[in-house]
């Protein structure tokens, strides 16, 4: 399988610098020794890789070998980044297993990664074996849309056989097929997280950019519940849906009994950055509609959680619904007020250092503070 698109020069190749970092290229070059000399030069958006040898017939073999090793290193680099971004959430291993998706959500933060190669089943299984010794009890397969992998049922079954409790982040559309839902349940899938962008079909489909996605997601949720797969319905407040949050929660409560509801705030990256003016809304503007939605959920005894929402922006009586998802991993801790895992993380603003509830507050996404600043925040001092 070849992931690099290149045209052969007299003694080299050109590869896309957006796909292959300097570190990956240098590591690929370091493999060569002896008769073949390899150098790299970056020009514009391309890496120019030059090969020199006393025996010209060796050049084609060297180029093919380089390309193969480059792809291996790229996949290894992705896997390493996934490991670096993995977090312990109740001993849960978060594992990105693909980047393709059959939706194109206006707020998707992963859209920039769509062309990245995905790890093979062999590599995924090896990673699962490797991290098992670190004490992880859950594995959370994510993407992209992980159900687009042809081997997803096999991977769920493998993880289950190794003792993991298996969770999946999915748009739910593939689960609209009864047979697929049955196979996933039989393989050992424990739980799914499925985004619902609105109880109004047209709004949901506008967010996903796919007409008919609402109908498939609704059927997918129903099939999961029927197969006794625990369903978490995720709602991300945006400019398109925040006013109708109470109605959406009421809809979920009436139609998907036994499901859990998770509110998570918008991360302004990828598509969300490009569509910011259409979808981004301030946390303080969302608050009163979120509170009304929580009122209904609490009154009806629904299982509801809120993530990435600063405590000072919501009434104290709702704090029991707020989960602190700022995961402290010492190797990536930048400062007292900021924790990074991989790239961006959920942070507290500098002014929060004096707040009496900073240790239990989830803060919010770094990208949000970059866009709106911290003027909304009101540190609580006891």
> Which string of DSSP letters, residue by residue, matches 222-236?
HHHHHTT-EEEEEE-
pLDDT band at 85 (very low <50, low <70, confident <90, very high): very low
Model pLDDT, residue 246:
98
Please tell me which residue, 58 or 317, carries the higher pLDDT value: 317
pLDDT band at 329 (very low <50, low <70, confident <90, very high): very low
Q: How far is CA 121 from CA 150, 152, 165, 317, in A?
A: 10, 9, 18, 46
Model pLDDT, residue 325:
64
Please tell me which residue, 355 or 17, carries the higher pLDDT value: 355
Residue 110 DSSP label: T
Q: Which two tokens stand for residue 229?
A: 């797969």
- What is the per-residue pLDDT across 25-59, written as a single tens digit (0 to 9) for each? 777 777 665 677 788 888 766 778 877 776 766 76
pLDDT band at 75 (very low <50, low <70, confident <90, very high): low
Share of the chain above pLDDT 70, in %: 80
Torsions phi, psi for 138 (to 5 deg): -120, 145
Q: What is the pTM of this model?
A: 0.74
Mean local confidence (pLDDT), 133-158? 92
- What is the per-residue pLDDT across 359-376, written as a single tens digit (0 to 9) for each? 889 998 888 988 999 999
Mean local confidence (pLDDT), 191-209? 98
Model pLDDT, residue 281:
96
Model pLDDT, residue 269:
87
Helical spans, DSSP H, in the chain: 22-30, 57-85, 121-132, 152-161, 178-187, 201-208, 213-226, 245-255, 271-274, 276-279, 283-299, 366-372
The answer to whether residue 128 scores a pLDDT higher than 50 is: yes
Q: How far is CA 306 from CA 65, 235, 293, 327, 376, in A?
A: 50, 9, 11, 15, 18
Residue 144 near residue 96 (C-beta atoms within 8 A) = yes
Which of 57-66, 335-344, 371-380 is predicted with the least confidence, judged by mean pLDDT? 335-344
Which of 88-92, 207-211, 253-257 is predicted with the least confidence, judged by mean pLDDT? 88-92
Mean local confidence (pLDDT), 179-207? 98
**Can you tell me the distance from the alpha carbon of 363 to that of 20, in angstroms, rounded to the nearest whole number?**
33
Residue 256 DSSP label: S
């Amino acid at each position: 399988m070849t992931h690099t698109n290149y045209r052969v020069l007299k003694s080299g190749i050109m590869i896309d610098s957006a796909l292959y970092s300097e570190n990956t290229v240098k590591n690929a070059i370091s493999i060569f020794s002896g008769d073949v000399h390899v150098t790299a030069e970056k020009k514009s958006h391309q890496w120019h890789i030059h090969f020199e040898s006393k025996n010209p017939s060796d050049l084609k073999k060297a180029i093919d070998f380089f390309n193969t090793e480059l792809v291996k290193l790229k996949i290894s680099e992705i896997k390493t980044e996934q490991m670096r971004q993995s977090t312990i959430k109740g001993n849960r291993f978060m594992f990105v297993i693909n980047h393709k998706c059959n939706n194109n959500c206006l707020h998707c933060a992963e859209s920039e990664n769509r062309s990245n190669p995905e790890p093979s089943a062999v590599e995924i299984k090896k990673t699962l074996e490797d991290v098992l010794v670190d004490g992880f009890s859950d594995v959370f397969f994510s993407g992209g849309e992980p159900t687009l992998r042809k081997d997803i049922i096999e991977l769920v079954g493998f993880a289950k056989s190794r003792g993991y409790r298996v969770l999946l982040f999915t748009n739910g559309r593939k689960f609209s097929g009864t047979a697929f839902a049955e196979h996933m349940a039989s393989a050992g899938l424990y739980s799914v997280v499925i985004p619902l962008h609105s109880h109004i079909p047209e709004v949901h489909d506008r967010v996903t950019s796919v007409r008919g996605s609402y109908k498939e997601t609704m059927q997918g949720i129903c099939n999961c519940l029927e197969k006794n797969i625990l369903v978490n319905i995720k709602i991300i407040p945006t400019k398109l849906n925040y006013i109708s949050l109470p109605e959406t929660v009421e809809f979920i409560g009436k139609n998907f009994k036994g499901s859990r509801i998770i509110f998570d705030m918008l991360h302004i990256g990828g598509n969300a950055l490009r569509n910011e003016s259409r979808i981004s809304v301030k946390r303080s503007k969302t608050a009163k509609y979120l509170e009304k939605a929580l009122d209904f959920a609490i009154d009806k005894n629904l299982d509801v959680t809120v993530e990435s929402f600063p405590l000072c922006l919501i009434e104290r009586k709702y704090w029991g619904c707020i989960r602190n998802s700022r995961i402290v991993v010492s190797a990536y801790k930048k400062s007292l007020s900021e924790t990074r895992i991989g790239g961006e993380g959920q942070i507290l603003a500098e002014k929060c250092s004096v707040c009496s509830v900073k240790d239990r507050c989830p803060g919010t996404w770094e990208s949000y503070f970059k866009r709106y600043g911290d003027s909304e925040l009101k540190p609580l001092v006891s």
